[in-house]
Amino acid sequence: MLSFNKQQLPANPLRDPNDKRLPRIAGPSGMVIFGVTGDLARKKLLPAIYDLANRGLLPAGFTLVGYGRRDWSKEDFEKYVHAAVVKSARTDFDENVWARLAEGMQFISGSFADEAAFDKLAALLEETDKTRGTGGNWAYYLSIPPDYFEDVCRQLDRTGMARAPKGSWRRVIIEKPFGHDQESAAELNRVVNAVFPENSVFRIDHYLGKETVQNIMALRFVNQLFEPFWNANYIDHVQITMAEDIGVGGRAGYYDTIGAARDVIQNHLIQLLALVAMEEPLAFDPAQLQTEKVKILSATRAVEPFDLTTARGQYSAGWQGSEFVQGLRDEEGFDPASSTETYAACTLEISSRRWAGVPFYLRTGKRLGRRVTEIALIFKSPPHQPFDLGQTASLGQNAVVIRVQPDEGVLMRFGSKVPGSAMEVRDVNMDFSYAESFTEESPEAYERLILDALLDNSSLFPSNTEVELSWEILDPVLQYWAENGRPEDYPAGTWGPRSADLMLERSGRAWRRP
């Protein structure tokens, strides 16, 4: 008879009390995706669901239902999901995992106002609860333009799908854009909250699902090292940059009416600001986190006059590395006279004891020199130092830089003596890199967020108040831009319009060139 030394056996993850996955496995549930044939579902949502299944984080009977206008059978839908998974999943393809997931897939064909199709969906969910043990727990993912939110919410209400039978839950997950200003966001919130109570609404800001963004809280609140200087006594200003090298080709329908500020400053960049600037929450739970974010956003304003404190640009043709690319107005689907900005920068201030007098400069752009997202806290210069000017000529200001992506990590820049007989001082970097420090791979933002929604953890989802406050901060700038001229051209592959540099130069500062 074979005998095993127990220690040689691989641990059974379901029995191992140290397995950190255990509290993170979703209970019985299913998900309906509206807009499942769209780009986001194909590139991000479906691969993320497969990755969760592959990591053992979905329940055995997990059921994915696609809803869309195509006239598809279950098999057509399976083929479509299979292609999306093979192309974009983060983890390796496993036939067994796929077979289990595919078994539960269903597709309902219909428009967002089609009553008969919604009745069919309601019947399907009820049937599935009986056959696959989904327990009446359903998440509805609205990966659709906000114009359709009302139709879908109304249908979910009419058919009873929005109301959870006793002991089960119904949640709705919504994608941005949450309106185009404060007023329209408030209206959207009214529409959604009329059907789903706020604690069952999960608004996706995928930046909050990124590991490095979650690490901002760890960095600030588990360490003693950073807190003493994290304030206006030591910090001169903060730069939050989200630079992309890609253009907006293929997304004209969405982007030409939106522009860079609405597309990412209102959500991703203002959320980053909130995490960097907020006070320590009493606990790492949704209510406490939202309380602190709401407090800091309520104290945040865009600094005027906007002709000096903001900048906007639109990329023209230019060299993106070794490739010559066309300007926005020549891209397919764009109005040749389009005045949509592809670069936006603004100056925000926070009226609080911690941050009074510290400008927060936010910028984002398409077709810039390279892809990088980072938050840089730039220190004040020391009030006195005993070296000659000549000895410190190449010394900059100290900085702490949180690199959100790529090359995820944290960097500290400070001065150091250059080896040699003279006392010459120069900037050096101390660099923490995720890739070097951890062997674990980071999950995709959507894996984390979809799982959190199934687990009813809304810590990483902005509340309705946060969304409206972010618009309140940005609205005056957008209104000023709408009434004053058009964006300045900048050649693709550069770092944006000249007005953005001037914005900082006026106060003797400069953007980092990451």
Ranges of H-type helices in 104-181: 115-132, 149-158
Residue 42 or 237: the one with the smaller Cβ distance to ligand BG6 is 42
Residue 460 parent element (H or E): none
Q: For the segment 264-303, give every residue that binds ligand BG6 (CB under 6 A).
A: 264
Q: Is 211 in the site for ligand BG6 (CB under 6 A)?
A: no
Beta bridge partners of 170: 138
Min CB(244)–ligand BG6 separation in Å: 6
- In the complex, least distance from residue 129 CB atom to ligand BG6, rounded to whole angstroms: 34
| Of residues 350 and 453, the one with the C-beta less far from ligand BG6 | 453
Q: For residues 139 and 29, is the Cβ–Cβ distance under 8 A? A: yes
Output the CA angle 17-222-438, nearest 5 degrees: 60
Mask: binding to ligand BG6, 238-267, rule CB under 6 A, as x and -? ------x------------------xx---
CB 178 within 8 A of CB 187: no
Q: Cβ closer to ligand BG6: 133 or 369?
A: 369
Does 473 contact ligand BG6 by CB under 6 A?
no
Q: How far is the CB of 186 from ligand BG6 (least distance, A)?
A: 21
Least distance (Å) between residue 371 CB and ligand BG6: 8
Compute the least distance from the CB of residue 442 to ligand BG6, in Å: 12
Q: How many residues bind ligand BG6 (CB under 6 A)?
A: 3
Task: State yes or no: cis peptide before 177, omega within 30 of 0.
Answer: yes
Binding mask 90-129 toward ligand BG6 (x if CB under 6 A, else -) reads ----------------------------------------
Quote the CA–CA distance of 30 and 135 in Å, as a whole number: 9
Active site residue 268: yes
Q: Tell me the closest approach of the beta carbon of residue 44 to ligand BG6, in angstroms.
A: 9
Q: Does 452 participate in binding ligand BG6 (rule CB under 6 A)? A: no
- Between residue 38 and residue 77, which ones bind ligand BG6 under the rule CB under 6 A? none
C-alpha 450/C-alpha 372 separation (Å) is 25
Distance of alpha carbon 481 from alpha carbon 260, whole angstroms = 12
**Binding of ligand BG6 at residue 78 (CB under 6 A)?**
no
Minimal distance in Å, beta carbon 45 to ligand BG6? 14
Both tokens of residue 225?
A: 């090292």
Rounded CA-CA distance 251/192 in Å is 26
Report the residue count for the chain. 514
The Cα 216–Cα 234 span in angstroms is 19
Strand pairing category for 138-142 and 170-174? parallel
- Measure Cα distances from 450 to 121, 129, 359, 512 in Å: 21, 20, 35, 34
CA distances from 70 to 82, 105, 110, 121, 138 (A): 17, 16, 7, 15, 22
**Nearest CA to 312 among 172, 503, 127?**
503
**Beta carbon nearer to ligand BG6, 169 or 434:** 434
Name the active-site residue from 180, 206, 237, 268: 268
Q: How far is the CB of 404 from ligand BG6 (least distance, A)?
A: 8
Question: Judged by CB, which is closer to ligand BG6: 171, or 210?
Answer: 210
With respect to ligand BG6, which residue has the nearer C-beta, 263 or 341?
Answer: 263
Who's near 178: CB < 8 A, 6+ residues apart? 146, 185, 188, 189, 203, 267, 467
HSE-up of residue 55 (Cα within 13 Å, Cβ side) = 25
The string of DSSP codes covering 305-368 is PHHHHEEEEEEESEEETTEEE--GGGSTTS-TT----SEEEEEEEE-STTTTT--EEEEEESSB
> Catalytic positions, please?
268
Residues in the site for ligand BG6, rule: CB under 6 A? 244, 263-264
